[in-house]
Amino acid sequence: MEIIKRILQKMRPYRLDIWLSLLALIVGTGAEVMIPSQVQRVIDDGILANDTQVIWRSSLIMVGLAAIGMIATYINAYYAVKVSEFTIADLRESGYRKIQTFSFANLDHLNTGELLVRMTSDLNQIKTAIMMTVRMLLRAPLMLVGAILAVVFTSPRLSLLLLVILPATGYFVYWFGKKTQPLYTLVQGRLDRVNTILQENIAGSRVVKAFVREDFENERFGEANTSYANQNIDVAMITAIMFPTMMTIINFATAGVLWFGGNLAITTNFITPGEIIAFVNLLMLTVFPVLMLGMGLPMIYSAIASGERVFEVLDTEAAIVDRKDAIELATNSVDGRVAFDNVSFDFDGEVEQDAVLRNITFRAMPGQTVAILGATGSGKSSLINLIARLYEVTEGEIRLDGTNIQAFTQASLRKQIGFALQEAILFSGTIRENIGYGKPEATEAEIVAAAKAAQAWDFIQDKEGGLDAKVEQRGKNFSGGQKQRLAIARALCVQPKILILDDSTSAVDIETETKIQAALDDLMQNSTVFVVAQRISTVLTADKILVLDHGNLVAEGKHAELLESSPIYKEIFDSQLGEGVQAHAGTVTHG
């Protein structure tokens, strides 16, 4: 019930529309309930009494009531759709805004496919339930009360049959709801699995083809898809029992009314044929609302299950939040001095032997290029993610210009940082929009300068439209190296005081990489640059090189110093540029 209360709270801004919808519903239901009494008058006072005037008058009244009901139903439907659409639009926007507050730690627990289902399919389930509730399910109790009153007024004797019929139908609806509610949660969970596999497969389609794993992926998706279909069938089988069972109850009730009422009409004068016909019509109007409730309950239970999943996202606290007294960083007040003091980090928030980073301490000054080197899994990317507070340190402190970065608002801190990642993400739009993404007010001269520094200007000019050339979804109309250079241009365009390049030239050739480094040396003279690299050639000219090994900072210095003092660094150097390569080449040649 808590989920229903929360959905109703989201509907509160549209309470005027709800009241107008309910008013139309009351008018339409009232008109519908009044029609059987006119049927009774046509039979008893018109046909049996040979009075055509009564027949005409009652028929015109029924036409008028039907017209009123039709108009009222249209008004009810209009406001029901309006309320449901705007309520879900608000929920969708709330969910989207909440996701924007999530740190990397939050996104580690809520994968992309799952979030997509919750913000699309689950919200659609809630929307359908809201619309059908305002249109149909609220109509059911109104019609039920109105029909019962009309039945009692029309034939008190036959109304006793309702004491048997209504409890029987009510119990069946209760049983049905109890059986179906938990099944809808399972359905949405299976849908999560289908969407996750689908999203992974589409994003990784090139890998699938490269390793000829189409059959494996088809089988994996087929299992998830079949599981989802079977779960839906389980729900559908129970739902399929609902309608025929309810109709059987109605038909038995109708037969009972005709038998009991017919005997009374023949043997006594307590009831007329018109009363019997009117009662049968009213009986349908009495049982039909219960049937509507029974058919609407699956939607309600499905919406509750979906609501739990949607509100789980809305209730998720961002792993990183600003302090109440957080400071707004002004660009002109930042020098770019970065200090790590005994910084440790692990994803679960506990520092143990296998922590991602342990007791990292170093200094980086404006104008310096600090390279971070180490084997895969040594903690390089985690270290630079901490600088921008994409993750929060577990222990220790990171300072910017002598102040703990946790004292700053996240937004103002990140505005001082330019980020270019190894996986260069481009957005659909134009090249201009992608380069200026972090600085929408950037002038064309600033965009061109950033593109030139990133060695992207030549291929941009070759594109039809230049800066206004179209970028397709995820930048699929650009090569890996081109995407990386555009990502570097995007980072440079914000003119950051801290530039972070996380293996962002891995898809770029050595010559182009050298030109980018030269441009950075000229453009970022007063900024602090962090470079994460796999290639030793990328870090040779760095002012400071940090060597990480299994989360520990094992060496720090310049290239020449580290060749003498760090066995790990020398091993990396030899394997790529030094004696290791030469020896390997000699072995291959002699082979």
Q: Is the dihedral of CA 394, 399, 402, 406 positive or negative?
A: negative
Topology of the domain covering 331-566 = Rossmann fold (3.40.50)
Q: pLDDT class for 311, splitting at 50, 70, 90?
A: very high
pLDDT digits (tens, 9 = 90+) for 525-534: 889 999 998 7
The Cα–Cα gap between 485 and 493 comes to 12
CATH code of 2-315, in short, is 1.20.1560.10
Alpha-carbon gap, residue 238 to 323, rounded angstroms: 52
Closest CA to 30 of 56, 64, 79, 78: 64
Question: Is the model's pLDDT at 499 over the cut of 70?
Answer: yes
Does pLDDT of 481 surpass 50?
yes
Task: Assign 580 a pLDDT band (cuts: 50, 70, 90).
Answer: very low
Q: Which residue did the predictor score with more confidence, 359 or 331? A: 359
Tokens 């002598």 belong to 402
pLDDT at 370 over 70: yes
For the residues of 66-97, what is the DSSP string, one character each?
A: HHHHHHHHHHHHHHHHHHHHHHHHHHHHHHHH
User: For 68-74, what is the mean pLDDT?
Assistant: 92
| 137 band by pLDDT with thresholds 50, 70 and 90 | low
Question: What pLDDT score does 591 carry?
Answer: 33
pTM of the model: 0.71
What pLDDT is recorded for position 583? 38
Better-predicted residue by pLDDT, 494 or 422: 494
- Higher-confidence position of 512 and 145: 512
Confidence grade of residue 579 (pLDDT, cut at 50, 70, 90): low
What percent of the chain has pLDDT above 90?
36
Q: Kindly tell me if the per-residue pLDDT of 587 is higher than 60.
A: no
pLDDT at 554: 94
Q: Dihedrals φ, ψ of 504, to 5°?
A: -85, 0
Q: Which amino acid is at 291?
A: L
Provide the residue ranges of all domains of the chain, joining segments of one domain with +: 2-315, 331-566
Pick 185 or 553 by higher pLDDT.
553
Average confidence score pLDDT of the chain:
84
- Say which residues have a Cβ less than 8 Å from residue 409's Cβ, sequence separation at least 6: 322, 326, 327, 328, 329
Reported confidence tier of residue 452, pLDDT bands at 50, 70, 90? very high
